[in-house]
A and B are shown apart, each in its own frame.
Chain A
Protein backbone atom coordinates (compact mmCIF):
# COMPACT_ATOMS: atom_id res chain seq x y z
CA UNK A 1 0.00 0.00 0.00
CA UNK A 2 1.44 3.40 -0.94
CA UNK A 3 2.44 5.62 1.93
CA UNK A 4 3.87 9.01 2.75
CA UNK A 5 7.42 8.73 4.05
CA UNK A 6 9.12 11.28 6.26
CA UNK A 7 12.78 11.53 7.20
CA UNK A 8 14.31 11.75 9.68
CA UNK A 9 11.99 10.34 12.32
CA UNK A 10 13.72 12.44 14.97
CA UNK A 11 15.91 15.50 14.56
CA UNK A 12 17.74 17.34 17.30
CA UNK A 13 19.12 20.75 16.42
CA UNK A 14 20.72 23.71 18.12
CA UNK A 15 18.70 26.88 18.43
CA UNK A 16 19.46 29.18 15.52
CA UNK A 17 20.41 26.39 13.16
CA UNK A 18 18.67 25.63 9.89
CA UNK A 19 16.79 22.37 9.59
CA UNK A 20 15.22 20.62 6.61
CA UNK A 21 12.47 18.07 7.07
CA UNK A 22 11.92 15.73 4.17
CA UNK A 23 8.82 14.02 2.86
CA UNK A 24 8.16 11.70 -0.05
CA UNK A 25 4.47 11.96 -0.88
CA UNK A 26 2.51 9.24 -2.62
CA UNK A 27 3.65 9.24 -6.22
CA UNK A 28 0.48 10.24 -8.07
CA UNK A 29 -0.63 12.82 -5.52
CA UNK A 30 -0.76 16.48 -6.46
CA UNK A 31 -1.50 18.30 -3.19
CA UNK A 32 0.95 18.45 -0.34
CA UNK A 33 0.66 19.72 3.21
CA UNK A 34 2.66 20.31 6.35
CA UNK A 35 1.08 20.22 9.79
CA UNK A 36 2.64 20.72 13.21
CA UNK A 37 1.77 19.27 16.61
CA UNK A 38 3.44 20.75 19.66
CA UNK A 39 3.59 18.14 22.42
CA UNK A 40 0.24 17.86 24.18
CA UNK A 41 -1.48 20.28 21.83
CA UNK A 42 -3.64 20.07 18.75
CA UNK A 43 -2.44 19.45 15.22
CA UNK A 44 -2.08 22.77 13.38
CA UNK A 45 -2.04 23.48 9.66
CA UNK A 46 1.11 25.12 8.37
CA UNK A 47 1.00 25.19 4.59
CA UNK A 48 -0.48 23.61 1.49
CA UNK A 49 1.34 23.29 -1.83
CA UNK A 50 0.09 22.63 -5.32
CA UNK A 51 1.54 23.04 -8.79
CA UNK A 52 4.89 24.13 -7.36
CA UNK A 53 3.55 26.96 -5.31
CA UNK A 54 2.02 27.62 -1.92
CA UNK A 55 -1.78 27.59 -2.14
CA UNK A 56 -2.44 28.51 1.48
CA UNK A 57 -0.43 29.15 4.62
CA UNK A 58 -1.25 29.79 8.26
CA UNK A 59 -0.09 32.56 10.58
CA UNK A 60 2.49 30.15 11.97
CA UNK A 61 4.16 29.87 8.58
CA UNK A 62 6.23 33.04 8.75
CA UNK A 63 9.40 34.04 6.90
CA UNK A 64 11.40 31.49 8.87
CA UNK A 65 9.61 28.70 7.04
CA UNK A 66 9.79 27.67 3.40
CA UNK A 67 8.70 24.69 1.35
CA UNK A 68 9.77 23.33 -1.97
CA UNK A 69 9.55 20.31 -4.20
CA UNK A 70 13.11 20.24 -5.49
CA UNK A 71 13.06 17.15 -7.67
CA UNK A 72 9.48 16.16 -8.34
CA UNK A 73 9.41 13.51 -5.65
CA UNK A 74 10.57 15.07 -2.38
CA UNK A 75 8.63 17.77 -0.55
CA UNK A 76 10.67 19.65 2.03
CA UNK A 77 10.00 22.01 4.91
CA UNK A 78 12.89 24.30 5.84
CA UNK A 79 13.14 26.26 9.05
CA UNK A 80 15.89 28.85 8.63
CA UNK A 81 16.78 29.71 12.21
CA UNK A 82 15.13 27.37 14.66
CA UNK A 83 13.68 28.57 17.93
CA UNK A 84 12.92 26.57 21.05
CA UNK A 85 9.20 26.90 20.33
CA UNK A 86 9.66 25.15 16.97
CA UNK A 87 10.05 21.90 18.89
CA UNK A 88 7.14 19.78 17.72
CA UNK A 89 6.04 16.84 15.66
CA UNK A 90 5.86 17.80 11.99
CA UNK A 91 3.51 15.85 9.74
CA UNK A 92 3.58 15.80 5.97
CA UNK A 93 0.42 14.82 4.10
CA UNK A 94 -0.57 14.40 0.48
CA UNK A 95 -3.76 13.91 -1.46
CA UNK A 96 -4.60 13.07 -5.04
CA UNK A 97 -7.07 15.90 -5.34
CA UNK A 98 -8.19 18.83 -3.29
CA UNK A 99 -11.21 18.38 -1.10
CA UNK A 100 -12.65 15.73 1.11
CA UNK A 101 -13.62 13.30 -1.62
CA UNK A 102 -10.08 12.11 -1.55
CA UNK A 103 -8.32 11.18 1.62
CA UNK A 104 -5.25 13.06 2.82
CA UNK A 105 -2.59 10.51 3.75
CA UNK A 106 -0.28 11.45 6.57
CA UNK A 107 3.32 10.45 7.09
CA UNK A 108 4.56 9.07 10.38
CA UNK A 109 5.93 12.46 11.40
CA UNK A 110 9.30 13.95 12.25
CA UNK A 111 9.91 14.87 15.85
CA UNK A 112 11.96 18.07 15.92
CA UNK A 113 13.71 18.96 19.16
CA UNK A 114 15.40 22.36 19.38
CA UNK A 115 17.89 22.68 22.22
Chain B
Protein backbone atom coordinates (compact mmCIF):
# COMPACT_ATOMS: atom_id res chain seq x y z
CA UNK B 1 0.00 0.00 0.00
CA UNK B 2 1.13 3.50 -0.70
CA UNK B 3 1.92 5.85 2.16
CA UNK B 4 2.47 9.60 2.17
CA UNK B 5 4.35 11.34 4.97
CA UNK B 6 4.50 15.02 5.79
CA UNK B 7 7.01 15.49 8.58
CA UNK B 8 6.25 19.13 9.37
CA UNK B 9 3.03 19.62 11.35
CA UNK B 10 3.34 23.39 11.11
CA UNK B 11 5.45 25.96 9.26
CA UNK B 12 5.57 29.68 9.80
CA UNK B 13 6.62 32.21 7.16
CA UNK B 14 6.87 35.94 6.97
CA UNK B 15 4.72 37.62 4.34
CA UNK B 16 6.61 37.92 1.02
CA UNK B 17 9.11 35.27 2.09
CA UNK B 18 9.47 31.71 0.82
CA UNK B 19 8.49 28.51 2.60
CA UNK B 20 9.11 24.91 1.59
CA UNK B 21 6.89 22.02 2.68
CA UNK B 22 8.26 18.52 2.58
CA UNK B 23 6.54 15.32 1.51
CA UNK B 24 7.84 11.81 1.07
CA UNK B 25 5.97 8.80 -0.18
CA UNK B 26 6.39 5.10 -0.54
CA UNK B 27 5.25 3.14 -3.57
CA UNK B 28 6.26 0.21 -5.73
CA UNK B 29 4.61 1.70 -8.79
CA UNK B 30 6.61 3.44 -11.49
CA UNK B 31 3.76 5.45 -12.94
CA UNK B 32 1.81 7.71 -10.60
CA UNK B 33 0.84 11.28 -9.89
CA UNK B 34 1.45 13.60 -6.99
CA UNK B 35 -0.56 16.57 -5.82
CA UNK B 36 -0.58 19.36 -3.31
CA UNK B 37 -3.98 20.42 -1.99
CA UNK B 38 -4.73 23.51 0.06
CA UNK B 39 -7.39 23.42 2.76
CA UNK B 40 -8.25 26.90 4.07
CA UNK B 41 -10.36 27.41 7.21
CA UNK B 42 -13.46 26.92 5.05
CA UNK B 43 -12.31 23.24 4.91
CA UNK B 44 -12.70 22.98 1.14
CA UNK B 45 -9.94 21.05 -0.65
CA UNK B 46 -8.37 23.08 -3.44
CA UNK B 47 -5.86 21.66 -5.90
CA UNK B 48 -2.66 23.72 -5.90
CA UNK B 49 -0.35 21.80 -8.20
CA UNK B 50 0.15 18.37 -9.73
CA UNK B 51 3.16 16.40 -10.95
CA UNK B 52 3.25 13.37 -13.22
CA UNK B 53 5.96 10.92 -12.20
CA UNK B 54 7.14 10.31 -15.75
CA UNK B 55 7.91 14.00 -16.22
CA UNK B 56 11.35 15.07 -15.05
CA UNK B 57 10.51 18.75 -15.21
CA UNK B 58 9.20 20.16 -11.96
CA UNK B 59 5.68 21.59 -12.11
CA UNK B 60 5.11 25.30 -11.52
CA UNK B 61 1.91 27.25 -10.96
CA UNK B 62 2.53 30.94 -10.43
CA UNK B 63 4.07 31.29 -6.94
CA UNK B 64 3.88 27.55 -6.28
CA UNK B 65 6.52 25.13 -7.47
CA UNK B 66 7.59 21.61 -6.60
CA UNK B 67 10.87 19.80 -6.26
CA UNK B 68 10.18 16.26 -7.41
CA UNK B 69 12.92 13.75 -6.67
CA UNK B 70 11.65 10.41 -7.97
CA UNK B 71 14.56 8.29 -6.79
CA UNK B 72 14.30 9.71 -3.30
CA UNK B 73 10.48 9.60 -3.42
CA UNK B 74 10.33 13.19 -2.34
CA UNK B 75 7.89 15.87 -3.45
CA UNK B 76 8.30 19.24 -1.76
CA UNK B 77 6.22 22.36 -2.32
CA UNK B 78 7.74 25.82 -2.42
CA UNK B 79 5.54 28.84 -1.88
CA UNK B 80 7.28 32.00 -3.01
CA UNK B 81 6.32 35.54 -2.08
CA UNK B 82 3.96 34.21 0.60
CA UNK B 83 0.68 36.03 1.01
CA UNK B 84 -1.75 36.13 3.92
CA UNK B 85 -4.22 34.15 1.83
CA UNK B 86 -1.76 31.27 1.65
CA UNK B 87 -2.40 30.47 5.29
CA UNK B 88 -4.02 27.04 5.32
CA UNK B 89 -3.43 23.33 5.77
CA UNK B 90 -1.51 21.82 2.88
CA UNK B 91 -1.86 18.16 2.01
CA UNK B 92 0.41 16.13 -0.20
CA UNK B 93 -1.42 13.36 -2.06
CA UNK B 94 -0.57 10.35 -4.20
CA UNK B 95 -2.59 8.85 -7.03
CA UNK B 96 -1.62 5.57 -8.65
CA UNK B 97 -1.74 5.03 -12.38
CA UNK B 98 -5.09 3.28 -12.07
CA UNK B 99 -6.29 6.61 -10.80
CA UNK B 100 -9.00 5.48 -8.48
CA UNK B 101 -8.21 7.06 -5.13
CA UNK B 102 -6.01 9.67 -3.53
CA UNK B 103 -3.76 8.81 -0.58
CA UNK B 104 -3.13 11.88 1.56
CA UNK B 105 -0.36 12.84 3.93
CA UNK B 106 -1.09 14.14 7.40
CA UNK B 107 -0.93 17.78 6.39
CA UNK B 108 1.22 20.81 7.21
CA UNK B 109 -0.32 23.95 8.63
CA UNK B 110 1.16 27.10 7.11
CA UNK B 111 1.01 30.29 9.13
CA UNK B 112 1.78 33.57 7.36
CA UNK B 113 2.94 36.45 9.52
CA UNK B 114 2.27 40.00 8.31
Name A residues whose Cβ lies closer than 8 Å to a Cβ of B.
Answer: 33, 35, 41-45, 48, 55-56, 58, 89, 91, 93, 98-100, 103-104, 106-109, 111
B28 contacts A by Cβ under 8 Å: no
Q: Closest B-chain residue to A104, C-beta based?
A: B102
Of the residues A44, A58, A106, contact of B44 by C-beta under 8 Å: A106
The contact string, 1 if C-beta is below 8 Å from chain A, for chain B 87-114, is 0000101010111111111110000000
Which chain A residues lie closer than 8 Å to B44 at the CB level? 106-109
Measured between alpha carbons, how far is A103 from B35 in the docked complex, in Å?
A: 10
Nearest chain A CB to B4 CB, angstrom units:
8
B52 contacts A by Cβ under 8 Å: yes
B42 and A108 form a contact (CB under 8 A): yes
Known pairs A100-B95, A100-B99; A44 contacts B104 (CB<8 A): yes
B101 and A100 form a contact (CB under 8 A): no
A103 and B104 form a contact (CB under 8 A): no
B43 and A108 form a contact (CB under 8 A): yes
B33 and A100 form a contact (CB under 8 A): yes
A103 and B91 form a contact (CB under 8 A): no
**B33, B37, B93, B100 — which one has the most chain A CB atoms within 10 A of its CB?**
B100
B102 and A103 form a contact (CB under 8 A): no
Known pairs A43-B91, A106-B44, A108-B42; A99 contacts B101 (CB<8 A): no
